[in-house]
């Protein structure tokens, strides 16, 4: 029976037994979760949260790190069956199946506040036993693997979650329970198949002259704090606080010097959840503390029974409701927040109702890393003494300070190529049993090169772990935990990173007094990615202190935004003229792919929300943006400057009303015009609707960014000409860490397709691909400065080619999201302005008349364009001599700037801006807020051609631009972004060492 079958069985039986009462629906605290059956024979573990107890001898690893919640594992259950009657039978049957192995790999985890039944492996045989309440007492159902049946023995006390402490007081000893309440006192051990009186375990249960009681209002637990196999008795109540340890010689509890942090309370004065949890956050086997309530949060690491939780990992007052670690309790009520040891993140409950309780998860990773590096800085010895061999090259490259220094590097272009060096000889102290720590300088880089299997790290000739190029703080560990490597980058460029490497090895891998032979071996080929060792022998003194540098990372990882996202189908359900190619003269002939408008609303903690709409269309006219901005300001109070709309520039999308008709060389038929106006009106309504839906969808989220590389765009003016292959990515993750919005941008014309059918082209397929990779997420695509870049054309099977391009973007975005995200924490500020771009001299009437006679090869476009202008002159209309171009920037403090440029902007703008602005932090969109025409650079303007001025007639402008356009636009962008985005180390570290 698999998991689903199991859940179905439970649900079905509960219906049979309980009418309409669902198995897990009687109480908010009730949970049914399937978990893996644990391996047997592992040490006794224990977790006792406020209203939940998790006990087992059989769970692998540290049960103390496990936190009962939706995704937590656990094989000991407290089951409240008191209100349900025959559920007793269900639990017994499920346990029987579990023990017999007929229940597949699942077992229930059903937790309730007033649990009356306990599921626990009382005798450590790996099978689950059951403590079951009866009207006049309780009984122990002990499973026998031999008899395949229960043996029933009395349980000495009535099961009461809050009064019975479970644990063990001697390593490998029997399961022990201790009860001390006003009404009953005693202790028992499960020995030889029965509960034996162990009343002596109640001796010395006092703390500071006060008696310790085990019932709920006192906050007392048995916990193995120091992972020695014996439980300590921890009191963390409103009045009594401290730790007792069992003295087996004197047979008496004695007070430990270990003190709890001031704020640590399992329960408050009213007996409710005090917001304290015991979790092994640093995975060293002992019980650390996480404390989080409405006002503050902190994490304390356990050191020893002598010093207690003396290391404070972090501590802060909660300034904003959604700041920091999600509250574990609010006004005494358990919020359901839970700890995910895999990501070291504390998540709020999925069903958290209050705003403060629904903050996004909080990662402890950076804090732990900071502590780790601080420790390494103190203990590490020199990690380089002499080079042994290098199959790579030696030259100079940037070091951790951005200075050029000698280095030995090894690329991933040949499998098995090695770089080997020796550390200084280990000394006696180092080999006394503690791990050895070494620090050396190095760098890794060329991240845009293809990934391979990376590198192997060999210690004295034995491969211990594998690592690869990264720009992040990263720790790799060997499977047997005998070796680990930490990379602490202190200098990075868009491609490379340099910094400190900390190598930790078990003393059993080295010989006392001998140097350690360290080898880095390439596992891949065909890539220029590289690892470099800087042969420096006085690294210890150069360590720079981790606190300041890592503080920013910590803050970034945990800043909470409010993010909403929505999508609306904007596919025309009727034939309509498509925009993009002048050669089309009929309405669309079908739908290949549906078109979408996506809305993304982002609100940073101290700012008003900002809205982005991405639209599958060729253009987005200014009047449409203005109309939407007006409506949204009225409907939801959106500030117009905090609104951006971009078009994907698909050439297979409907034409919008009031756009230039000079593209087509002839007036549109009235029927075509009618449907264009109908669509435009419908579209405007849908865009308003999707914006409001996103607005209403605001939820706590964390934002991340990344920058990847996709290569299908090609310069269409000059073979091998400049392109911008960057793929910037912005990701919103919800409170559980799930991706729910992905925004990407790529600088390429959306012109894979040239048929007359509706499609989003590669931008549409990219959205589909990303949304497939992240179910439930909404993908948004904008286009960068790709006015002079085309995709590979698809020919007859162009739709397939467009899909392939989309997949390329989707795959890269997926890779980045999985491996390369950096958190964003800054406030979101927006700026918006319009620059007036001067056109060259406007033709005279005579010149228009002359042009009107032309019947050029492009379908008479020039002639038609001139005739339109003559008509205007006849009607007394002025000929426009300036192009208003919107320039907008969104900045997340100094971490990320997204530039929205109107028009069809050529690639030179992106490249120039990325030279002047730190390219890692800038993202440039085109086709934003208005698309009046092509925006050529000075180079393109000089060169002329289609983008340099020829296309102005298709956009219904009278003349090309005057020189100076580029500076005007670039200056405006710089002005809006300010000096904090100026490049600090311009052009350093691009690719090659």
Which of 214, 593 has the CB closer to other proteins?
214
Which of 217, 968 has the CB closer to other proteins?
217
**Residues 251-280 contacting other proteins, CB under 8 A:** 251
- The region of 20-28, 154-162, 358-366, 820-828 touching other proteins under the rule CB under 8 A is 154-162
Task: Pick the closest to residue 222 from 187, 192, 271 (CA basis).
Answer: 187
Shortest reach from residue 237's CB to other proteins, in Å: 10
Phi-psi region of 879 (alpha: psi -120 to 50; beta: other; left: phi over 0): beta
Verify binding: residue 597, other proteins, rule CB under 8 A: no
Which of 183, 964 has the CB closer to other proteins?
183
Which of 237, 575 has the CB closer to other proteins?
237
What span, in angstroms and rounded, lies between the C-alpha atoms of 668 and 920? 46
Shortest reach from residue 161's CB to other proteins, in Å: 14
Shortest reach from residue 120's CB to other proteins, in Å: 19
Verify binding: residue 961, other proteins, rule CB under 8 A: no
In contact, 926 and 785? CB cutoff 8 Å:
yes
Which of 210, 582 has the CB closer to other proteins?
210
Q: For other proteins, which residue of 95, 157, 645, 663 counts as binding (CB under 8 A)?
A: 157
Helix (H) or strand (E) holding 549: helix 547-558
Shortest reach from residue 252's CB to other proteins, in Å: 9
Shortest reach from residue 170's CB to other proteins, in Å: 10
Which of 158, 771 has the CB closer to other proteins?
158
Which of 116, 358 has the CB closer to other proteins?
116
Task: Pick the closest to residue 581 from 618, 544, 555 (CA basis).
Answer: 618
Per-residue b or e along 948-982, where b marks 16 or more CB atoms closer than 10 Å to that residue's CB: bbebbbbbbbbbbbeeebbeebbebbbebbeeebe
Which of 209, 461 has the CB closer to other proteins?
209
Name the CA dihedral angle for 811, 815, 817, 821, rounded to a multiple of 10 degrees.
-140
What span, in angstroms and rounded, lies between the C-alpha atoms of 227 and 61? 11
Shortest reach from residue 223's CB to other proteins, in Å: 22
Which of 180, 372 has the CB closer to other proteins?
180
Verify binding: residue 185, other proteins, rule CB under 8 A: yes
Shortest reach from residue 215's CB to other proteins, in Å: 7
Phi-psi region of 339 (alpha: psi -120 to 50; beta: other; left: phi over 0): beta
- The region of 152-160, 467-475, 840-848, 855-863 touching other proteins under the rule CB under 8 A is 152-160
| Torsion sign over Cα 812, 813, 814, 818 | positive
Show the site string, 296-315: x = touches other proteins by CB under 8 A, - = not.
Answer: --------------------
Which of 118, 597 has the CB closer to other proteins?
118
- The region of 156-164, 295-303, 546-554, 934-942 touching other proteins under the rule CB under 8 A is 156-164
Verify binding: residue 184, other proteins, rule CB under 8 A: yes
DSSP label of 361: P
Verify binding: residue 668, other proteins, rule CB under 8 A: no
Shortest reach from residue 127's CB to other proteins, in Å: 21
Shortest reach from residue 78's CB to other proteins, in Å: 19
- The region of 2-10, 91-99, 175-183, 972-980 touching other proteins under the rule CB under 8 A is 175-183
Q: For other proteins, which residue of 2, 85, 101, 183 counts as binding (CB under 8 A)?
A: 183
Three-state DSSP state, 676: helix
Residue 732, Cβ density class (10 Å: 0-12 exposed, 13-18 middle, ≥19 buried): buried
Shortest reach from residue 205's CB to other proteins, in Å: 10
Shortest reach from residue 255's CB to other proteins, in Å: 16
Strands, E assignment, 648-770: 653-654, 699-709, 714-715, 726-733, 739-746
Q: For other proteins, which residue of 19, 146, 182, 719 counts as binding (CB under 8 A)?
A: 182
HSE-CB at 143 with a 13 A cutoff on CA atoms is 24
In contact, 328 and 275? CB cutoff 8 Å:
yes
Which of 236, 778 has the CB closer to other proteins?
236
The count of residues in the chain is 993
**Residues 193-252 contacting other proteins, CB under 8 A:** 196-197, 199-200, 202, 206, 209-211, 213, 215, 248-251
Which of 182, 846 has the CB closer to other proteins?
182
Q: For other proteins, which residue of 191, 422, 509, 893 counts as binding (CB under 8 A)?
A: 191
Shortest reach from residue 210's CB to other proteins, in Å: 6
Shortest reach from residue 331's CB to other proteins, in Å: 22
Which of 220, 780 has the CB closer to other proteins?
220
Name the CA dihedral angle for 118, 122, 127, 129, rounded to a multiple of 10 degrees.
-40
DSSP label of 588: -
Task: Pick the closest to residue 930 from 833, 809, 792 (CA basis).
Answer: 833
Shortest reach from residue 478's CB to other proteins, in Å: 36
Q: How wide is the angle at C-alpha 789 spanned by C-alphas 787 and 794, nearest 5°?
A: 120
How many Cβ atoms are within 10 Å of 221's Cβ, its own excluded?
A: 24
Which of 162, 705 has the CB closer to other proteins?
162
Which of 253, 438 has the CB closer to other proteins?
253
What span, in angstroms and rounded, lies between the C-alpha atoms of 792 and 812? 18
Shortest reach from residue 261's CB to other proteins, in Å: 23
State how far the alpha carbon of 617 is from the alpha carbons of 623, 651, 730, in Å: 15, 7, 21
What span, in angstroms and rounded, lies between the C-alpha atoms of 652 and 765? 13
Verify binding: residue 153, other proteins, rule CB under 8 A: no
Largest CA distance in the chain: 114
Shortest reach from residue 203's CB to other proteins, in Å: 9
| Torsion sign over Cα 131, 132, 138, 144 | negative
- The region of 22-30, 191-199, 273-281, 535-543 touching other proteins under the rule CB under 8 A is 191-199
In contact, 753 and 875? CB cutoff 8 Å:
no
How many Cβ atoms are within 10 Å of 625's Cβ, its own excluded?
A: 21
Verify binding: residue 181, other proteins, rule CB under 8 A: yes
Shortest reach from residue 335's CB to other proteins, in Å: 26
**Contacts with other proteins: how many residues (CB under 8 A)?**
27
Which of 43, 383 has the CB closer to other proteins?
43
Helix (H) or strand (E) holding 627: helix 622-636
Q: For other proteins, which residue of 17, 32, 60, 186 counts as binding (CB under 8 A)?
A: 186
Which of 192, 670 has the CB closer to other proteins?
192
In contact, 346 and 325? CB cutoff 8 Å:
yes
Three-state DSSP state, 402: coil
Residues 6 or more apart whose Cβ sits within 8 Å of residue 925: 646, 745, 782, 783, 784, 898, 899, 900, 901
In contact, 527 and 412? CB cutoff 8 Å:
yes
Which of 181, 399 has the CB closer to other proteins?
181
Shortest reach from residue 202's CB to other proteins, in Å: 7
- The region of 177-185, 614-622, 690-698, 749-757 touching other proteins under the rule CB under 8 A is 177-185
How many Cβ atoms are within 10 Å of 804's Cβ, its own excluded?
A: 17
Q: Which residues bind other proteins (CB under 8 A)?
A: 156-158, 180-186, 191-192, 196-197, 199-200, 202, 206, 209-211, 213, 215, 248-251
């Amino acid at each position: 029976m698999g998991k689903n079958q199991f859940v179905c069985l439970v649900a079905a039986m509960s219906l049979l037994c309980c009418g309409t009462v669902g198995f897990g629906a009687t109480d908010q605290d009730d949970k049914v979760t399937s978990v893996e059956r644990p391996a047997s024979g592992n040490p006794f573990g224990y977790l006792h949260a406020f209203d939940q107890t998790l006990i087992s001898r059989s769970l692998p690893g540290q049960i103390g790190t496990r936190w009962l919640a939706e995704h937590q594992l656990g094989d000991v259950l407290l089951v409240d069956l008191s209100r349900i009657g025959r559920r007793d039978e269900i639990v017994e049957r499920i346990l029987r199946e579990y023990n017999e192995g007929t229940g597949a790999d699942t077992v229930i985890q059903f937790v309730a506040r007033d649990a009356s039944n306990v599921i626990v492996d009382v005798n450590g045989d790996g099978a689950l036993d059951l403590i079951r309440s009866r009207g006049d007492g309780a009984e122990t159902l002990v499973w026998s693997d031999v008899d395949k049946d229960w043996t029933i023995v009395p349980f000495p006390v009535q099961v009461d979650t809050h009064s019975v402490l479970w644990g063990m007081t001697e390593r490998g000893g029997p399961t022990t329970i201790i009860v001390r309440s006003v009404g009953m006192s005693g202790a028992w051990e499960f020995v030889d198949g029965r509960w034996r009186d162990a009343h002596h375990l109640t001796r010395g249960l006092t703390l500071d002259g006060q008696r310790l009681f085990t019932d709920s209002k006192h906050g007392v637990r048995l916990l193995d704090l120091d992972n020695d196999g014996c439980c300590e008795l921890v009191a963390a109540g409103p009045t009594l606080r401290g730790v007792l340890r069992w003295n087996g010689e004197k047979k008496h509890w004695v007070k430990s010097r270990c003190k709890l942090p001031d704020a640590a309370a399992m329960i408050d004065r009213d007996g409710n959840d005090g917001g304290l949890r015991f979790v092994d956050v640093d995975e060293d086997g002992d019980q650390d503390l996480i404390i989080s309530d409405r006002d503050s949060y902190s994490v304390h690491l356990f050191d020893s029974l002598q010093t207690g939780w003396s290391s404070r990992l972090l501590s802060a007052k909660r300034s904003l409701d959604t700041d920091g670690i999600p509250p574990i309790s609010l006004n005494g009520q358990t919020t359901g927040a839970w700890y995910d040891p895999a990501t070291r993140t504390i998540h709020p409950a999925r069903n958290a109702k209050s705003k403060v309780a629904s903050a996004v998860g909080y990662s402890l990773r950076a804090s732990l890393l900071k502590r780790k590096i601080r420790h390494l800085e103190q203990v590490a010895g020199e990690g380089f003494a002499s080079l042994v061999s290098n199959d790579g090259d030696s030259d100079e490259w940037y070091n951790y300070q951005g200075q050029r220094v000698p280095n030995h590097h090894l690329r991933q272009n040949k499998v098995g190529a090695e770089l080997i060096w020796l550390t200084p000889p280990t000394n006696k102290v180092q080999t006394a049993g503690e791990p050895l720590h070494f620090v050396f300088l190095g760098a890794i880089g060329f991240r845009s090169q293809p990934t391979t299997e990376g590198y192997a790290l060999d210690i004295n000739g034995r491969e211990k772990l594998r690592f690869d190029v990264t720009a992040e703080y990263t720790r790799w560990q060997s499977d047997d935990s005998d070796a680990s490597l930490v990379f602490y980058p202190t200098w990075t460029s868009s491609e490379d990173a340099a910094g400190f490497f900390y190598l930790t090895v078990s003393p059993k891998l080295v010989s006392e007094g001998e140097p350690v032979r360290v080898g880095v071996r390439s596992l891949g080929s065909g890539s220029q990615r590289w690892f470099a060792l800087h042969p420096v022998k006085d690294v210890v003194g150069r360590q720079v202190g981790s606190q300041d540098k890592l503080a920013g990372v910590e803050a970034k990882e945990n800043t909470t935004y409010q993010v909403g996202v929505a999508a609306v189908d904007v596919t025309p359900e009727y034939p309509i003229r498509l925009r993009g190619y002048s050669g089309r003269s009929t309405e669309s002939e079908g739908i290949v792919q549906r078109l979408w408008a996506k809305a993304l609303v982002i609100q940073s903690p101290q700012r008003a929300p900002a809205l982005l709409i991405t639209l599958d269309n060729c253009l987005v006219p200014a009047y449409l943006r203005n109309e939407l901005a007006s409506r949204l300001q009225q409907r939801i109070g959106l500030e117009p400057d905090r609104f951006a709309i971009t078009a994907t520039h698909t050439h297979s999308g409907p034409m919008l009303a009031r756009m230039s008709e000079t593209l087509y060389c002839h007036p549109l038929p009235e029927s075509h015009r009618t449907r264009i106006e109908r669509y435009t009106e419908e579209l405007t309504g849908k865009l308003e609707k999707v914006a409001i839906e996103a607005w209403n969808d605001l939820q706590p989220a964390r934002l991340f960014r990344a920058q990847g590389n996709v290569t299908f765009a090609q310069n269409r003016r000059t073979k091998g000409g400049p392109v911008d292959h960057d793929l910037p990515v912005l990701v919103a993750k919800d409170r559980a860490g799930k991706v729910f919005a992905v925004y990407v941008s790529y600088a390429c014309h959306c012109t894979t397709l040239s048929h007359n059918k509706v499609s989003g082209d590669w931008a549409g397929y990219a959205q589909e691909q990303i949304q497939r990779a992240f179910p439930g997420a909404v993908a948004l695509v904008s286009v960068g400065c790709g006015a002079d870049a085309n995709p590979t054309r698809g020919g007859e099977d162009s739709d397939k080619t467009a899909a392939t391009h989309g997949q390329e973007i989707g795959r890269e975005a997926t890779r980045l999201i999985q491996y390369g995200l950096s958190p964003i924490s800054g406030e979101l500020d927006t700026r918006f302005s319009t620059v007036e771009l001067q056109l060259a001299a406007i033709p005279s009437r005579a010149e228009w008349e002359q042009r009107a006679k032309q019947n050029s090869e492009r379908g008479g476009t020039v002639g038609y364009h001139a005739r339109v202008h003559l008509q205007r002159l006849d009607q007394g209309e002025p000929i426009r001599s300036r192009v208003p171009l919107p320039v907008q920037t969104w900045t997340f403090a100094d971490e990320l700037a997204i530039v929205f440029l109107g028009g069809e902007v050529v690639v030179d703008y992106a490249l120039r801006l990325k030279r002047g602005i730190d390219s890692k932090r800038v993202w440039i969109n085109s086709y934003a807020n208005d698309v009046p025409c092509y925006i050529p650079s000075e180079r393109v303007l000089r060169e002329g051609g289609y983008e340099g001025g020829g296309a102005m007639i298709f956009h219904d402008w009278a003349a090309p631009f005057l020189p100076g356009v580029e500076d005007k636009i670039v200056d405006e962008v710089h002005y809006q972004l300010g000096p904090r985005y100026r490049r600090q180390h311009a052009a350093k570290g691009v690719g090659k060492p």
